[in-house]
Amino acid sequence: MKFNSLFSEVSLGPYTLKNRIVLPPLTRSRSSQPGNIPNDLMAEYYSQRSGAGFMVTEGTQIEPRGQGYAWTPGIHSKEQIEGWKKVTEAVHDANSVIFCQLWHVGRVSHVSLQPNEGLPVGPSDIQADNVKVFIETAPEVGALADPSQPRALSTSEVEDLVEMYRQAAVNAKAAGFDGVELHCANGYLVNQFISGHTNNRSDKYGGNLENRLRFLKEITEAVTQVMGADKVGVRFAPLFESTDEDRVYLGLVESDPHATYIAAIKILNDIGIAYLSLAEADWDNAPDLPDAFYQDVRQYFAGCIMYAGKYTPEKALRILTEGKGDIFGFGRPFIANPDLPERIKNDWSLNSVDPTSMYGGTGKGYTDYPQHTG
């Protein structure tokens, strides 16, 4: 079998994954309204894709201010917890492992999505550019808009957010998730604290790199106290070069991305988290990460390493064979191919993604992609 190595078992914390193929976090904006509540349709969607050895939910906001796109689910209300139970039960019935991705968009939001139409919050009052947010313009009708001007969080508000992350982990545990992943990538709140481009604070959460990594350290410690470190993952998007191409990818290019992210990874390794998820550049013809970075990630992180970002089975096999990564996320292919692991195993052709049904809507372009019948 061509991709036999991708179907070997691998350990992730206390779990033995049945293969190395991962359903990564993919925003689909299908939660029920009002309340951004996970529903039966979402349970069907995840259950269909439970041939994955490991699954991570779409970004799930930890509090109402954390929402940056219409109809994305939350994990901060009783109704949301009950909705997520449908998902975790369906996935567990299909013998897969699922983590909840805890998400806060920070400044990448719009006043129409904020409680009482307040300003989005962030480490500083620097407005996001070169990115759009998806807002509700009418029931079941959405449109892209520029992010609103944010306001800077006070020190005590940042400390309150650490507690919100801890509570979100409590809620995820109550919903039946096997663990949680902290979304620290793609220009969202945690990434905004890490980056010198978006953090000009002068308190303990700003200034030098150690201070800019403090929020990451504190929220990771908070959720590990709830879940156990071996049931926690962290996602980064270490972008080493920029492009002017229009894309969803929102990574922030640091002045020294290698030093920034290796410093962060050392902190996470000391905490003892189960895995590190690294989202590579996903535009056409994007280069691999620098080889020195791959090598240092492996050297300084003892847990499971996941890579994603326009991965093909061929690239996953190469990175695995070279010893750089352990598990691999396949985003767009998993959207259109609910039976993706079987298709990879048997070298079957893949369905194409319908770009018109990516965000919002019904089961069309969500749960109606056909499985292989040949």
- For 120-156, what is each residue's pLDDT tens digit? 999 999 999 888 999 998 787 889 999 999 999 999 9
Rounded mean pLDDT of 102-115?
97
pLDDT at 243: 54
Confidence of residue 286 (pLDDT cuts 50, 70, 90): confident
133 lies in some domain: yes
374 lies in some domain: no
Three-state secondary structure readout of 258-312: HHHHHHHHHHHHHHCCCEEEEECCCCCCCCCCCHHHHHHHHHHCCCEEEEECCCC
For the cut 60, the answer to whether the pLDDT of residue 264 exceeds it is yes
Mind listing the pLDDT tens digit for each residue in 149-160? 999 999 999 999
For the cut 50, the answer to whether the pLDDT of residue 95 exceeds it is yes
The share of the chain scoring above pLDDT 90, in percent, equals 89
The active-site residue, picked from 15, 188, 261, 359, is 188
pLDDT at 337: 98
The share of the chain scoring above pLDDT 70, in percent, equals 97
Rounded mean pLDDT of 33-44?
98
Rounded mean pLDDT of 163-187?
98
CATH of the domain at 222: 3.20.20.70
Question: Which residue range forms the structural domain that includes residue 46?
Answer: 4-357
pLDDT at 246: 36
Q: Is 188 a catalytic residue?
A: yes
pTM here is: 0.97
348 lies in some domain: yes
Q: How many domains does the chain contain in total?
A: 1
371 lies in some domain: no
Beta bridge partner(s), residue 133: 145
362 lies in some domain: no
The residue among 285 and 274 whose pLDDT is bigger is 274
Indicate if the alpha-carbon torsion angle 106, 109, 114, 118 is positive or negative.
positive
For the cut 50, the answer to whether the pLDDT of residue 66 exceeds it is yes
Three-state secondary structure readout of 76-132: CCHHHHHHHHHHHHHHHHCCCCEEEEEECCCCCCCHHHCHHHCCCEECCCCCCCCCC
Tokens of 198: 């978006």
For the cut 50, the answer to whether the pLDDT of residue 301 exceeds it is yes
C-alpha 143: how far from chain center: 22
Instruction: Calculate the average pLDDT of the chain.
Output: 94
CA separation for the pair 211, 144 (Å, rounded): 34
363 lies in some domain: no
219 lies in some domain: yes
14 lies in some domain: yes
pLDDT at 374: 65
pLDDT at 139: 81
